[in-house]
Amino acid sequence: MSKEFFERLRARAVRIDVEEHLRARVERGDKLRVKLGLDPTAPDLHVGHLVVLDTLRMFQDEGHTVVVIIGDYTALIGDPSGRSVTRPMLSEDEIARNAETYFKQLDLVLDREQIEVRHNSEWLASMTAADILRLMAKATLQQVLQREDFADRMKEGTPISAHEILYPFNQAYDSVAVKADVEIGGTDQLFNLLFGREIQKAYGLEPQDIAVFPLIEGTDGVQKMSKSLPNFIGLTEPPEEIYGKTMSIPDRLTEKYLRLISGLDAGQQAEVLAMKPRDAKAALAFQLVKRLHGEDAARRAEADFTRKFRERTAPDEMPEFDATNLDLVGALVASGLAPRGRGDARRLIEQGGVRVNDVKVGVDHRLEDGQTLSVGKRSFVRIRVR
C-alpha cells in the first residue's frame, strides 16, 4: 500500500529531495507532517492548485497529517513599504473570512479531520529584533538571491524592497515551527522548499523532504494558469463555466489535465484517452465539474454546453475563415470580426466579448482548426487551417 503510494507520488512529481529518505519513511509507515502554506490575502484557488491539493489528499489517505499554515501575521502587516496602496493591511476579521473561503475550497479535496490548522502569528508575533537577526544569520544573501524572481529582478535592475528578503526566511521558519517532515509545491516553489530544509538544519532539526509538481497551463494553452490572467478555471466557478472553459483548452492539454487534476485513476485516464480528442476533452470537463459540483451538475453543464454550442454553431449559418496563423488578434482582424484593426480586436477581447467555442478567451489564446470564433451574440466564423 505504502509502496504503491510512493510510486504514484513519484510518477506525479518533477523532483523529490531526498527521494530515498522519503521513500524509506513512507514505506516504514512513519506518520508524516506535510506542510501547506496559505496566503490569506488571495483566497481564490483555481484548478491548477489541484495538482498540489490532490497530492496532499494522497498523503491524507495514507494516514499522514496535512499542516495548513495561515500567513495571518504577514497579512496583518500588509505591504509594509508604505509606498503601495495596492496591498493594504488586512483586519483580523478579513483574515478570518479569507481563511474560511480557503477552507471551503480545501474541503472540495481534503479531509478536514486530518488537517492541523496553524497561524504563523503564533511564532512570528513574539519574535524580537534579535530573533530576526539570528534567523537571517542562517543563510547568505547570495543564497537568497538565487531565487529565480530575485535573480531576475537583480539582473534587470528592478527594485527589490529589502524587507522582501525576509519572506523566504519567515516561510522557511514556518517549517521549523511546525516541525514539517514534508513540504510540497509547484516547481515555482522549489527554492522556498529547499530553503526550508536549510533553515531547519540550521535550527538543529532533521530537514523536511520536498517534492515539486508540474504547473499546468491555463485555457490559453500558453501561460501557466494564474489568477492574474484570463486563463484560469476557478475552483468555485459555476458548473457551466468550468465545463465551458475546460472545453476551450487546446486538445494537446487534455492528457496533462487528466493526469494531474482529474482525480481519475490510471485505468480511467486510459479509457478517456482512447476516445476521439473532442470526446476526451468533454469527458475531462464532465469529470472536473463532477468532482467540484457533483454528477448532477456535471450532466446539466454538459447538456447546457451541447445545446448552446449547437445553437450557435449550426454549420449552415456560419461562414468559414481560412486562418493563415492562429493568433487570435490577427484572426479577428483578418476575418472582419474586428473591422477597425488590432487595437479594436484587443479591446473586444479585454471587454470579454470574444469567445472561442462559446467560451470567453484572453488575448494570448491560440486558435485551432475547427473552432468557432465569435464576437458578441451575432458575428461568428469557423476557423479552418488548410
Positions that interact with its own copies (CB under 8 A): 73, 76-77, 79-82, 124-125, 127-144, 154, 157, 159-166, 169-170, 202
Q: How far is the CB of 209 from its own copies (least distance, A)?
A: 24
Identify the sign of the CA torsion 251, 359, 356, 312.
positive
Give the three cell numbers for residue 186.
509547484
Q: How far is the CB of 208 from its own copies (least distance, A)?
A: 20
How many angstroms separate the CA atoms of 247 and 193, rounded? 34
* DSSP, residue by residue, 228-279: TTTT--BTTS-HHHHHHHHHTS-GGGHHHHHHHHS---HHHHHHHHTS-HHH
Q: How far is the CB of 81 from its own copies (least distance, A)?
A: 4
Between 96 and 202, whose beta carbon lies closer to its own copies?
202
Cα distances from 32 to residues 110, 174, 192, 361, in angstroms, run: 16, 16, 19, 42
Between 153 and 382, whose beta carbon lies closer to its own copies?
153
Q: How far is the CB of 43 from its own copies (least distance, A)?
A: 22
How many angstroms separate the CA atoms of 168 and 149, rounded? 12
Between 132 and 385, whose beta carbon lies closer to its own copies?
132
Q: How far is the CB of 139 from its own copies (least distance, A)?
A: 5
Between 161 and 226, whose beta carbon lies closer to its own copies?
161
How many angstroms separate the CA atoms of 122 and 72, rounded? 9
How many angstroms separate the CA atoms of 200 and 203, rounded? 5
Give the three cell numbers for residue 26.
513512507
Between 158 and 324, whose beta carbon lies closer to its own copies?
158
Between 141 and 274, whose beta carbon lies closer to its own copies?
141
Q: How far is the CB of 67 from its own copies (least distance, A)?
A: 21
